[in-house]
Amino acid sequence: MKKILTLISAFTLASLTFAGEASHGLSLYTNKDLKYKQGQPYDHANPDAPKGGTVNLADFGAFTKFNPVSMSGVPAPQLGLVFETLMDGSVDIEEHFSQYGRLAESVQLADDRLSITYFLNKNAKFSDGKPVTADDVVFSYNLINEPGYNPAYKSYFSDIKQTVKIDDYTVKLEFEKYNQELPLIVGQVSILPKHIYDAEGKNFDKDFDNVLPVGSGPYTVDKFDKSKFISYKRNKEYWGKDITVNKGRYNFDNVTVKIFTDMLALRENVKAGNIDASMVMVAKDWAKFYVGEKIEKNHLFKTTFPSKRVAGMQSFALNLRRPVFKDRNLRKVIALLMDFEYMNGNMFYNQYTRLTNYFDNNEEMMSRGPAEGEEKALLEALMEKYGKEFVPTSAITKGPQVLGYDKTGKPLPIEKRIAGANKMLDRLGWKFNKESGVRKKGDQELSFTFMISDQNWVRIANSFINNLKQVGINAEYQLVQPAEFVQKRIKYDYDIITATFGGTQSPGNEQRSYLGSKSADIEGENNYCGIKNPAVDELVNNIIEAKSRKELVKYTHALDRILCANHYVVPQWYLDKDRFVYWNKFSGPSINAGKSYISDNFLNWWWYDEAKAEKLKQAMESNSKID
């Protein structure tokens, strides 16, 4: 393995000065925005939560490796229990983007934001007892440049210039240029032990897939079978059990994640009590499966937790690397033919809301209606600079809107949409072949495939496909195993997949991976559609460099408008709550962290309740209701 270690000379060290004051946390624009004072636990924690018990969870699809950051393979679920980062991101909904010390006891940001210094907690240790030092931190950051490191992280952290060891417990990161959120996101890198992952003659990308992970986190791997389960046990010697961000956290002695490749088997195991808690991702399961005596007698709880998270764009992502999807007008035809109202009424039990924006479910981040003021001026300047090919007029005059609806937002009948789609295809030169029933333009047939990895999506895809076939589009679906889906996604070997462009209250460097022109040609990135739009690139850079919340929102709105106007995806739907089922032997804090999924909150902040467990046992034996 290539070894990189940046050391600072004695002369430079002697002349080094730090800007500002060391702090227990960081916030995006000013530390005055930090909600929590030093030593103050999170509101969503119960510092008195008891430790103990076992929890059995579920995951879909077998895993292939224990390396958390390499490009190849599928990592084991919940590896975050083993590895830690320098800083802990707050999931408190009242904080747009804040973080607090974890491996780092304190942090010092330069006034020009071009460097940041971390002061490590000298008590931090890896699970094998060796201390976490600056050498481990420098090694972990330099790993990002290794060929086998996950490329999505490479673009995310591309503005890191160098990582410098000041002393055994002090590390300084220097940045190539101003990047408003970079001082925060660099605190999210997993810190790996150098003495393990820098072993002589080892290939980081391949040689650690089957090596049991060693990290500084609260758990270690106990037992596993890659196709069946992985079990973690709480490290009784965990160095960080009493630090502020961990008060009331990691309460289970044992965590087992069971692997399923069949969703029916997964939900049957939940209802049978073999799985203790699970988010419910399928509307039909929520409406029809999780009902009956166990629910009615309060043995198994079925509840929802409101979500104020930015929904992001869950969508049918069209792969523009395929020539058939290059034409924006053809993409509009495809989008017109997805009948969400039919799906929602006949498959989803009217549980979902149609997505219209890339930053939906958040009043501040969503753009609406015709652009005005500074947003309009910005979009007009981008149109003048790059042309309507990249900044369509509708991005300014109409704003985000889903096709197939009238001006009042009422859905048009599918028959009217089909008729309109046929006319549009005729105008685009796609001629209908009566013998095959498929349209062609020259020698090119109008055909494509939806790649899916979950049987539940077959009926959803077929609903869409049936409408596409009615206008002469030869659409079909391909059902593959989850592991194969991941590998094909990494190589962009698909026509259409369901993909989510993650949205947050504070978008930033991750947008390079989702939307940047450079990422479109790098395997393993998250540019699912292969978007190459210079106006999008400029706005992503503006978002990254925004110096105020007002600027960030303005640039995000403009980006949202351009993305929606180009119809790179067919928007799907979102849910403004988390659906959750769990057996009545657990308790949780009074406040649910609003920026995190309930499944993550459950694992992090809930606990095994011995009194409830005993009541459940007696109630099941007597077949009685728990009051």
Does residue 285 sit in the same domain as residue 318? no
Last residue of a domain, which of 195, 216, 234? 234
pLDDT reported for residue 20: 66
Does residue 425 sit in the same domain as residue 475? yes
What integer is the mean pLDDT of 380-387?
98
Per-residue pLDDT tens digits for 335-347: 999 999 999 999 9
What integer is the mean pLDDT of 406-420?
93
In which band, very low, low, confident or very high, does the pLDDT at 46 lie, cut at 50, 70 and 90? very high
In this predicted structure, the answer to whether residue 200 has a pLDDT above a threshold of 70 is yes
The verdict on residue 251 lying in a domain is no
Q: Strands 160-167, 569-571: parallel, antiparallel or unpaired by DSSP?
A: unpaired
In this predicted structure, the answer to whether residue 15 has a pLDDT above a threshold of 90 is no
pLDDT reported for residue 65: 94
Instruction: State CA 12 to chain mean position distance.
Output: 40
Count of other CB atoms within 10 angstroms of residue 363: 7
The verdict on residue 253 lying in a domain is no
Going from the C-alpha of 219 to that of each of 196, 215, 238, 254, the distances in angstroms are: 17, 9, 8, 9
CA nearest 486: which of 523, 458, 441?
523
Does residue 377 sit in the same domain as residue 473? yes
What integer is the mean pLDDT of 419-432?
97
Per-residue pLDDT tens digits for 284-331: 999 999 999 999 999 999 999 998 889 999 999 999 999 999 999 999
Structural domain count, the chain: 3
Give me the DSSP letters along 450-518. EEES-THHHHHHHHHHHHHHTTT-EEEEEE--HHHHHHHHHTT--SEEEEEE---SS--THHHHHH-TG
* Exposed/middle/buried for residue 263 (C-beta within 10 Å: 0-12, 13-18, 19+): middle
pLDDT reported for residue 9: 36
The verdict on residue 187 lying in a domain is yes
**149: which DSSP letter?**
B
**553: which DSSP letter?**
H
In which band, very low, low, confident or very high, does the pLDDT at 3 lie, cut at 50, 70 and 90? very low
In this predicted structure, the answer to whether residue 451 has a pLDDT above a threshold of 90 is yes
CATH of the domain at 327: 3.10.105.10
Which domain covers residue 514, as residue numbers?
A: 313-574
Six-digit token pair at 526?
A: 């998250």
Does residue 185 sit in the same domain as residue 322? no
Instruction: State CA 145 to chain mean position distance.
Output: 22
pLDDT reported for residue 363: 87
In this predicted structure, the answer to whether residue 31 has a pLDDT above a threshold of 60 is yes
What is the 3-class SS of 573-615, one letter each residue?
A: EECCEEEEEEECCEECCCCCCCCCCHHHHHHHHCEECHHHHHH
- Cα–Cα distance measured from residue 476 to residue 466, given in angstroms and rounded to the nearest whole number: 9
Does residue 216 sit in the same domain as residue 290? no
Residue type at 111 in one-letter notation = D
In this predicted structure, the answer to whether residue 252 has a pLDDT above a threshold of 80 is yes
pLDDT reported for residue 533: 98
Does residue 37 sit in the same domain as residue 95? yes
Calculate the average pLDDT of the chain: 93
Does residue 397 sit in the same domain as residue 544? yes
The verdict on residue 98 lying in a domain is yes
Q: Strands 496-501, 447-452: parallel, antiparallel or unpaired by DSSP?
A: parallel
Q: Strands 25-27, 98-101: parallel, antiparallel or unpaired by DSSP?
A: antiparallel
45 contacts 90 by C-beta, under 8 angstroms = no
What integer is the mean pLDDT of 521-531?
95
The verdict on residue 499 lying in a domain is yes
pLDDT reported for residue 4: 33
- Cα–Cα distance measured from residue 275 to residue 283, given in angstroms and rounded to the nearest whole number: 19
The verdict on residue 43 lying in a domain is yes
pLDDT reported for residue 236: 94
Last residue of a domain, which of 574, 589, 605? 574
CA nearest 533: which of 494, 559, 505?
559
CA nearest 331: which of 342, 343, 316?
316
In this predicted structure, the answer to whether residue 372 has a pLDDT above a threshold of 50 is yes
In which band, very low, low, confident or very high, does the pLDDT at 503 lie, cut at 50, 70 and 90? confident
Last residue of a domain, which of 234, 251, 270? 234
pLDDT reported for residue 50: 98
Give me the DSSP letters along 106-123. EEEE-TTSSEEEEEE-TT
Per-residue pLDDT tens digits for 122-163: 999 999 999 999 999 999 999 999 988 988 888 889 899 999
What integer is the mean pLDDT of 48-63?
95
In this predicted structure, the answer to whether residue 2 has a pLDDT above a threshold of 90 is no
What is the 3-class SS of 191-253, one letter each residue?
A: ECCHHHHCCCCCCCCCCCCCCCCCCCCCEEEEEEECCCEEEEEECCCCCCCCCHHHCCCCCCC
Q: What are phi and psi of 464, to 5 degrees?
A: -70, -45
In which band, very low, low, confident or very high, does the pLDDT at 19 lie, cut at 50, 70 and 90? low
- Cα–Cα distance measured from residue 50 to residue 100, given in angstroms and rounded to the nearest whole number: 24
What integer is the mean pLDDT of 601-614?
98
pLDDT top residue among 272 and 148: 272
The verdict on residue 409 lying in a domain is yes
CA nearest 386: which of 566, 116, 194, 522?
566
CATH of the domain at 136: 3.40.190.10
Going from the C-alpha of 262 to that of each of 336, 453, 500, the distances in angstroms are: 32, 10, 22
In this predicted structure, the answer to whether residue 118 has a pLDDT above a threshold of 50 is yes
pTM over 0.75: yes
Say what percent of the chain tops pLDDT 70.
97
In this predicted structure, the answer to whether residue 18 has a pLDDT above a threshold of 70 is no
357 contacts 590 by C-beta, under 8 angstroms = no
Going from the C-alpha of 420 to that of each of 6, 53, 291, the distances in angstroms are: 62, 60, 42
Does residue 100 sit in the same domain as residue 214? yes
Q: What is the CA radius of gyration of the chain?
A: 26
pLDDT reported for residue 155: 81
Does residue 125 sit in the same domain as residue 207? yes
Does residue 584 sit in the same domain as residue 551? no
Q: 320-328 long-range CB contacts below 8 Å, 24 or more apart?
A: 320/529, 320/530, 320/531, 320/532, 320/568, 321/492, 321/520, 321/530, 322/448, 322/495, 323/444, 324/444, 324/446, 324/447, 324/448, 324/495, 325/448, 325/495, 327/428, 328/392, 328/566, 328/567
Six-digit token pair at 155?
A: 């673009």
Spell out the alpha helix ranges (H) of 7-164.
10-15, 134-142, 151-156
Spell out the alpha helix ranges (H) of 534-585.
534-545, 549-566
Does residue 563 sit in the same domain as residue 590? no
For 274-423, where are the E strands, in sequence order? 277-279, 300-306, 313-318, 353-354
- Cα–Cα distance measured from residue 208 to residue 75, given in angstroms and rounded to the nearest whole number: 11
459 contacts 284 by C-beta, under 8 angstroms = no
What integer is the mean pLDDT of 473-484?
95
Does residue 504 sit in the same domain as residue 521? yes
The verdict on residue 249 lying in a domain is no
